[in-house]
Amino acid sequence: MSTTPQLLSSAQVARFVAHGFLRLDGIVPRETNEEALGVFAAGLHAVPYGTPVPKAFPEGSFARRLLELPAVAGALESLLGPDPTVDHHFVHTRQPREGSAQPLHADALIDLRQDAFDVQLMYYPQEVTAEMGGTLIVPGSHLRRVNESDTGRYQNLRGQTRLTCPAGTVVLLHHGIWHGGRRNDSDTVRHMYKIRFNPSVPQVRLWDTADLDTPAVHEELTRGFPWYEQATGRLEILNRIRLWRSLTGDPGFDIDHWATRIANRPAAQRSKA
């Protein structure tokens, strides 16, 4: 099996920018998934905030081997660059028939950064069925800045993803994504291992940019979602333009003239001259 990190394409990164997450279904080997439950049962060691990955997860450790899977390593490097630090890690457990779900929330304070983002890795060692209450994810919500669980009153939004997946699935999420652990209505304990990463380098053109100017990128960045309101949903496109400008280092990038139009101030330019 190849150990070379599989970098994302521009279209895949654009999809992440629009959706706020990237799914890697069933990519973790069966024996690793079987090992995971024992690792979780033994308990995770504490990792101080901001610890470099090699120090947080020594060579050969379970987490390190998970992160070294070529698809995982390549996706993380494409989004975060080399040498990200570990913010924290945690095993989320949803007990059988526990009766309630988490409120919809973002793992974030009001985070106003436009030139950086954290990535959260969620790993599911078991098959997750609809009854087991997989993670609820709202596509395209990550750039709509809110304060943690202030979105709790939204129980359901059109186009939401109620995650079901095969064992060994990894999902990488922008830190601002609206999500929540759904109610587990099954008789099976459900585990999800989460690692949050902070970037340590500028997040600019870190992926395979060979397809940067292809129509697929534009198609991803202009994608709408069923829960977007007619008017305010448009602002998501503007948010994406800003993020894509930052990620590509191209301050002139635009979609259908939207950002250029509202920045056009001839009088201000004249006064600077």
Residues that bind other proteins (CB under 8 A): 99-104, 110, 112, 133, 136, 144-147, 150, 152-158, 160, 162, 180, 182-183, 226-232, 235-236
The encoded tokens of residue 262 equal: 């509202």
Name which of 160 and 203 has its Cβ closer to other proteins: 160
Query: In angstroms, what is the minimal distance from the CB of 245 to other proteins?
Result: 17
Separation between Cα atoms, residue 74 and residue 79, nearest integer Å = 9
Query: In angstroms, what is the minimal distance from the CB of 139 to other proteins?
Result: 13
The encoded tokens of residue 270 equal: 């004249």
Contact 103, 154 (CB under 8 A): no
Contact 14, 217 (CB under 8 A): yes
CA dihedral 48→51→53→59, nearest 10 degrees, is: -60
The secondary structure element, H or E, covering residue 36 is helix 30-42
Name which of 104 and 173 has its Cβ closer to other proteins: 104
Query: In angstroms, what is the minimal distance from the CB of 92 to other proteins?
Result: 15
Name which of 183 and 245 has its Cβ closer to other proteins: 183
Name which of 54 and 226 has its Cβ closer to other proteins: 226
Query: In angstroms, what is the minimal distance from the CB of 232 to other proteins?
Result: 5
Query: In angstroms, what is the minimal distance from the CB of 171 to other proteins?
Result: 15
Name which of 25 and 148 has its Cβ closer to other proteins: 148
* CA angle, 31 then 33 then 36, to 5°: 110
